[in-house]
Structure 1
């Protein structure tokens, strides 16, 4: 019952802190961590939130990854495969190597394999944390796209290394670099295949489910199902969830307007509540970590501070090299292109759910019955890195972005939308004009109906442009309601053409998926109102 009350309290806290964060211009997930920590450290309250560590990733990561991946596209990943490889794989590996080397020097009694496990815990920035903190700050879409691409795949790299390092520590074996590389490649390949197959099966099922609510509910079950299926065959559940989300968006039908509107609202609520509980959980587990450290807490905190500096330093150096490499690139979407952008990307290395789950899932004993080497200190260092890299950037990123002058300008967002809007307008108006031409040849449309159609062409153009209609225009449309069936058929046809064009544009390189989604939402709303 206490756990249930805490979950309800965290959900309520998330709802309230969203408004507080907007007023203070601070990321509300960081405020949730602070709230959870205050609750955990308040005397007289339950000692900690009791949840099996093995359930943290399967419960929280699939829906949050699915929600984040839905906001991007395959074309974006194809365009950024180099940055994904450099950030989600190479940077994670370099961070693991540096942190594990430092841990061997700092932590008494730690083995090399246990140090590698620590490095794997703190290496991957969390996609949910990055999206939640960096998204509302209005950093340029190029930078946010880089962070999203990095965050969606780096957990897979870290999890493979962590699992191998823990197994080697428990059994007293050594790590095999060749075995690690092979496990990663096989796990990623299997996950991609599983994701594609599940997405195909899901489309078949969705085609036979006519209820919009039921179809939306299926999308909630889907990320859990694909994650568990992939993990069951020792593939990457993270990659499988991302692939199924991307593929479902790619296979989306232009005529699913009502479903898209319901699913968007549904997933907005799910993402808010799950994110709130997840980040509150990070704070709630602080008491247990502190109590496990005991009298060695000051020494461990000092070691955690050094590891934090190294983790941040490695990312700063990496982004500096990336800037020097791509600043003269002909690719307009490449990032970072300036030193200021490199600073922002370096500062957005927030750790989150994956770090917490891995820290709490460490075994207590090895196969020989001996205690796991330096478990308490490893856990405290991991949680310390999590808190510092989440809270410090979380509370300072808005100020940093403003001081550096790298915030996304409103006109840049408008330009991205206009590119998609113009294509939708041309497709819709061309379809309407074609219908009028067909009617003229068969002499089907009276003059007043053709005039009304042209009026609706203007109305559709206004919908796409975000303009409101005058009362006179509304009255003229009502005056011809006796021809509504014909008119609505033609407008629905035009809207369908516009939606299809937006979905096609969303799949193309160079098109911002979120800009396309905003245009598609306007078209979906008009379609539902028309129906």
Structure 2
């Protein structure tokens, strides 16, 4: 009962802190971590939420990864595969090496494999934390999409290194660079296959389930199923969940307007509650980390400060180098293009659930005795989590404003306008074809031309005028035919936007906003 009360309390706190975050312009997940720390510090509070560390990632990561991946597209990943490779693989590897070297120099009694395990714990920015903290901040879409792309795949690299390093530590073996690379490549390829197979199977089921509630429920079960299946096959569960979300989103049908609206609302609620519990759990678990450190906590925190400096420094240098390479690129979607953007991207290396889960899952013993410096490694990992999450979480909005790296509203509106015009042209083309079939009365043609002429304004959310409503009511004789042609025209518009979403260079967020308005018009018409 205590566990249930705690979960319900964290959910309620998440709902309340969303409002607080809106008023204070602070990311509410960072406020949830602070709340968890405060609650955990209450004297006499029992360890009610004693969750097995091995369950943290399977319980929280799949749904949150799935929700984040639905906001992007295959086309975006194909266009940015170089950035993904540099950030999700190369930067993670460099950070692991830098942290491992630092730990070997300052942590007494640590071995090389244990130091590498520490590097793998703290190297990857967490996709959930990045999305939760950076998502609400008004920054250019180029920067946010870079962070999203990095966060969705870097856990795969870190998990492979961590599992290999821990196994070598426990068994007294050695690390093999070639073995790590081979395991990573095979795990990623297998995960892609698993993700595509599950996505196609899910699409087959969705096409045969008539109940919209059942179809939405399937999307909730799917990320857990594909994650567990991939892990059982020793593939990357992270990559498998991302692939299944991308593939399922890319095959969305034109006539699924009601499903898209229902699932959007459903996943907004799921994401809010799961994120709240997950970030509250981070704060609550910090108490047991401090208790395990005991009297050595000050010395461990000093070492943790050095590792935090290395983690932040490596990312800052990497982003500065990326700016020097990208600033003269002809591709306007590349980032960072300015020194200010490099500073923002360097500051957005938030660690989260993955770091906590890996730290708490360190085994207590090896074949040679106790796991080397286990308590200190956990303290260091959690310190990096707190510094990189709370610091940017509370200061990122202010940093973005001070540096002037605001969202380019004109560019975003231009992207939406282009998609809106494409949708309007597709709708008018379909409507014109129906007119030529001589099945429409003259008054219906007149009404349709007037309403379709306002489609661009309707897609922007402008309501129809009172005069237009009265005129449409006066044409009841042709209402059935008008509705059919409007539905056909709107279907053409949705088809055009869905096709545009799969094109390189099209912002999936802009396409989703236009598609949502078209879906709303379609559902209201029905």
Deviation at 1:465, TM superposition (A): 3.4
Identify the residue that residue 477 of structure 1 maps to in structure 2. 472
Identify the residue that residue 70 of structure 1 maps to in structure 2. 70
Identify the residue that residue 466 of structure 1 maps to in structure 2. 461
Mapping of residues 512-523 of structure 1, within 5 Å: 512-523=507-518
Deviation at 1:459, TM superposition (A): 4.5
- Note if contact 1:68-1:131 (Cα within 8 Å) is conserved in structure 2: yes
- Note if contact 2:440-2:481 (Cα within 8 Å) is conserved in structure 1: no
The alignment's C-alpha RMSD in Å is: 0.9
Identify the residue that residue 434 of structure 1 maps to in structure 2. 433
User: 1:13 and 1:422 mapped to 2: Cα distance?
Assistant: 43
User: 1:327 and 1:446 mapped to 2: Cα distance?
Assistant: 58
Identify the residue that residue 246 of structure 2 maps to in structure 1. 246
TM-score (norm. length: structure 1): 0.98
Mapping of residues 91-102 of structure 1, within 5 Å: 91-102=91-102
User: 2:129 and 2:458 mapped to 1: Cα distance?
Assistant: 35
Runs of 5+ unmatched residues, structure 2: none
Cα deviation code 1:107-142 (max 9, x no counterpart): 111111011000000000001101111111111100
Identify the residue that residue 52 of structure 1 maps to in structure 2. 52
Give the secondary-structure state (helix, strand or coil) at the position aligned to 1:302.
helix
Deviation at 1:436, TM superposition (A): 1.0
Give the secondary-structure state (helix, strand or coil) at the position aligned to 2:65.
helix
Cα deviation code 1:13-40 (max 9, x no counterpart): 0000000001000000000000000001
Identify the residue that residue 113 of structure 1 maps to in structure 2. 113
User: 2:286 and 2:461 mapped to 1: Cα distance?
Assistant: 47
Give the secondary-structure state (helix, strand or coil) at the position aligned to 2:337.
coil
Identify the residue that residue 417 of structure 1 maps to in structure 2. 416
User: 2:126 and 2:290 mapped to 1: Cα distance?
Assistant: 23
Identify the residue that residue 376 of structure 1 maps to in structure 2. 375
Give the secondary-structure state (helix, strand or coil) at the position aligned to 1:438.
coil
1:490 equivalenced with 2:485 (yes/no): yes
User: 2:249 and 2:47 mapped to 1: Cα distance?
Assistant: 43
User: 2:98 and 2:446 mapped to 1: Cα distance?
Assistant: 71
Cα deviation code 1:120-171 (max 9, x no counterpart): 0000000110111111111110000100000000000000000000000000
Deviation at 1:447, TM superposition (A): 1.8
User: 1:245 and 1:500 mapped to 2: Cα distance?
Assistant: 20
Cα deviation code 1:262-308 (max 9, x no counterpart): 00000000000000000000000011000000000000000011100
Cα deviation code 1:422-470 (max 9, x no counterpart): 111111111112211222xxxx332222222223323434322322111
Identify the residue that residue 195 of structure 1 maps to in structure 2. 195
- Note if contact 1:47-1:287 (Cα within 8 Å) is conserved in structure 2: no
Give the secondary-structure state (helix, strand or coil) at the position aligned to 2:396.
helix
- Note if contact 1:40-1:48 (Cα within 8 Å) is conserved in structure 2: no
Identify the residue that residue 453 of structure 1 maps to in structure 2. 448
Q: How many residues align?
A: 526
Identify the residue that residue 306 of structure 2 maps to in structure 1. 306
1:316 equivalenced with 2:316 (yes/no): yes
User: 1:508 and 1:272 mapped to 2: Cα distance?
Assistant: 30
Give the secondary-structure state (helix, strand or coil) at the position aligned to 1:185.
helix
Cα deviation code 1:461-509 (max 9, x no counterpart): 4322322111111011111223222111100000000000000000001
Cα deviation code 1:363-410 (max 9, x no counterpart): 011134x11111100000000000000000111111110011011032
Identify the residue that residue 295 of structure 2 maps to in structure 1. 295
- Note if contact 2:441-2:478 (Cα within 8 Å) is conserved in structure 1: no
Cα deviation code 1:233-289 (max 9, x no counterpart): 000000000000000111110110000000000000000000000000000001100
Identify the residue that residue 510 of structure 1 maps to in structure 2. 505
Identify the residue that residue 236 of structure 2 maps to in structure 1. 236
Identify the residue that residue 163 of structure 1 maps to in structure 2. 163
User: 2:479 and 2:286 mapped to 1: Cα distance?
Assistant: 63
TM-score (norm. length: structure 2): 0.99
1:350 equivalenced with 2:345 (yes/no): no
Give the secondary-structure state (helix, strand or coil) at the position aligned to 1:398.
helix
- Note if contact 2:301-2:383 (Cα within 8 Å) is conserved in structure 1: yes
User: 2:142 and 2:408 mapped to 1: Cα distance?
Assistant: 12
Identify the residue that residue 331 of structure 2 maps to in structure 1. 331
- Note if contact 1:101-1:115 (Cα within 8 Å) is conserved in structure 2: yes
User: 1:323 and 1:454 mapped to 2: Cα distance?
Assistant: 50
Give the secondary-structure state (helix, strand or coil) at the position aligned to 1:468.
coil
Deviation at 1:48, TM superposition (A): 5.5
Runs of 5+ unmatched residues, structure 1: none
- Note if contact 2:188-2:236 (Cα within 8 Å) is conserved in structure 1: yes
Give the secondary-structure state (helix, strand or coil) at the position aligned to 2:464.
coil
Mapping of residues 142-291 of structure 1, within 5 Å: 142-291=142-291
